[in-house]
Chain A
Amino acid sequence: MAQTEVSTAPGQMAATAPRSRQVDAPRWSYLLFVLPFLVFFVLLLVIPLFWGMWLSLTKADLFGPGKFLGIDNYVRLFKDKIFIGAIWNTVYFVILTVPALAVIGLALALVLNRPTRTATVLRAIFFASTVLSVTIVTLIWRVVLIPDMGLMAAIYSWFGAKSPSFLSSAQLAMPSIAVATIWWCIGLPMMLFLAALQQVPREIYEAAALDNANRWRTLWFITLPSIRRTFVLVIIIQIVMQFQLFGQAQLMTQGGPNNASRPIVLYIYDVAFKRFDVGMGAAASEVLFALILVAAMAQYFVSRRRGED
């Protein structure tokens, strides 16, 4: 009886109140609330995105788009050995930094995830490098790596060895930039992992302790699966960030020696703002965009396939 009444109620409502609207009907007046954001989003993100795509298809210079070229810019780009080298340099740099940032960040978080004063101080210290500007960071590392006088030279001399010239060696330039970058960027992954670790219920660790799990098995079977999502997040954030390497390479090696440490963004900068070939710079930007997108999505899908919670 009660059910019948309920089921007929909307019909009665409609009959007596024909002007009432459906609950799930869109209300366009609500758009006003998101309009301020939407304006900036479209102006600053959507339009530049498509503008960049358009520029990459034209013979653009700093004064604006020129003749439509189709995919000529891309063809020129992939014929340019320096650009191909820059792609490999960037990928190499990402491979050097991203796993290291994730692993070291996690290790620091695991060690510092305790409510002691020392841990709090150390957390602040490890995070401190993140707030420095790239100029300061590269200055510090140039002092560390400078041949004959730097910190590394001093360390090598303790063992009676002569330090290599890190920044002017084709083999060592990129790893050196990677080390400086890891030192600079380690704070964020550490903080994200700390936040994630503190979300894992203590009871689960207690259950594991009662289940006789040693530290290694607790880490492997309890902690890591519990923070898997954060791990994916850290990897994706770092992929996106490290593919955009620019400042460190520009300030430490200027892409040298012989383009050995030239990343894609530095290439874009040189082409677009030094050679004023904005079209080709835009094309290189689109390639970088695609690379970041593919890498981040691949990481996302690979980790998603490995079982859901």
Chain B
Amino acid sequence: MSEIAISNVSKRFGAVEVLDNLSLNVHANEFLVFLGPSGCGKSTLLRMIAGLESVDAGEIRIGGERVDHLPPGERGVAMVFQHYALYPHMTIRDNMSFGLRNIGVPEPEVTRRVQQASAMLEIDALLDRKPGQLSGGQKQRVAIGRAIVKEPKAFLFDEPLSNLDAALRVRTRVELAQLHNRVKSTMIFVTHDQVEAMTLAHRIVVMNNRKIEQVGTPIEIYTRPATRFVAAFVGSPAMNFLPVTVTAGPSGASVRLPDGSSIDTTIATQALDLNAPHTLGIRAEAVSVVSGANGTTPTTSGKAEVIERLGDRTLVYTRLGDGSMLVAEAKGDSPVSIGDEVRLAFDGSRTHLFDAHERAYHSA
């Protein structure tokens, strides 16, 4: 029920700066995801909120109360670890009760909360077992149950799904979303998996290299990435990037691709430095393979080198005339095959431009 305010937080490990003057507000009852590559500092930030890492500068408040000087247990947060961190010698019941007993919760209340949480997570049959007798998925549920019984102000998840197999990961992901609907609590979830981030988050915090690159809803992050890093990191296949020159066109910037063809985009030219080199960013779904017969004017053409058939759509890795590679999308039943000369139509209204500082400009 509590919001978390992180202000001007920095963290160093010896000479290595891990987080650099970072500020962020997590709304009450929000499901926030920290997304970023390994080593970007997302886990460190989560651990600083939990109290497992000290804060070198700045402050952290949970529900208005400053907590960065408090030990982990007194911050009112619960954490689910990547490797579960269950106490191996305790039964599941004791694992879940331990935190409550430590703060002197009366035994009937402990029993009630453990029963309620285990029923919610369907682990009531496992209560008298030990962690060693459980599967990975069951352990993960117990770890979540251990967090739930504490009725914390906020839940912190440190890559909790990365140890599960693919099918279980998808199922647990759905269950986590349902759990959030049920317990209505602030949740922060760390992951490097963009699908987890896109599907679970109210808002995503994309982190890279000690800094926050962008904070936004999944759709904002996907459609209006703030930087080239965000554009490249989010989305599968990754966004296509081509070096281009920019001129003023009829509806916005007109860009010339390295192979000489040009696209009219709807990106406003006012903010652009037309003399500077730019990078065009365009997702595969905005580059379609056209036959030429359906009336769409192709922008350029190239040779199909790799074809990925995903069922609902086909990804065509195309080598353009100048040697650059571009991923385009064709229909699921597209007859295109390797070595074919394909014609590509670019959707100018779904383009992005990145300047030399990697800042993004989007189509209107």
- Could you tell me which A residues sit within 8 Å of B by CB distance? 201, 203-204, 206-214, 217, 221-222, 225-226, 228, 307, 309
Contacts and interface: CB of A to CB of B under 8 A. Distances in A.
B135 interface: no
A207 B102 contact: no
Interface in B18-70: 50-52
B80 to A, nearest CB: 10
B132 interface: yes
Interface in B121-152: 130, 132, 146, 150
A208 B146 CA distance: 11
B327 interface: no
A114 B212 CA distance: 34
Interface of B: 50-52, 71-74, 77-79, 81, 83, 85-90, 98-99, 102-103, 130, 132, 146, 150
B73 A211 contact: yes
A225 B89 contact: yes
A226 B89 contact: yes
14 contacts: A204-B88, A206-B72, A207-B87, A207-B146, A208-B87, A209-B51, A209-B72, A210-B51, A211-B99, A212-B73, A213-B98, A214-B102, A221-B87, A309-B130
B48 to A, nearest CB: 13
A187 B172 CA distance: 48
Greatest chain A CB density within 10 A among B51, B71, B87, B103 is at B87
Instruction: Report, nearest first, the 6 A-B pairs whose CB atoms are least far apart.
Output: A212-B73, A211-B99, A203-B85, A225-B89, A207-B85, A212-B102
Contacts of A217: 102
A70 B79 CA distance: 69
Contacts of A204: 85, 87-88
Interface of chain A: mostly helix, strand, loop or mixed: helix
A19 B132 CA distance: 44
A211 B85 contact: no
Contacts of A209: 51-52, 71-73
Contact of A210 (B79, B130, B132): B79
A138 B52 CA distance: 48
Nearest to A225: B89
A210 B72 contact: yes
Contacts of B103: 212
Contacts of B71: 209
A290 to B, nearest CB: 33
B73 A203 contact: no
A270 to B, nearest CB: 47
A214 B101 CA distance: 11
A217 to B, nearest CB: 6
A217 B98 CA distance: 10
B37 to A, nearest CB: 22
A203 B83 contact: yes
Given A203-B83, A309-B130, A309-B132, A210 B89 contact: no
Given A212-B102, A212-B103, A217-B102, A207 B89 contact: no
Contacts of B130: 309
A217 B104 CA distance: 12
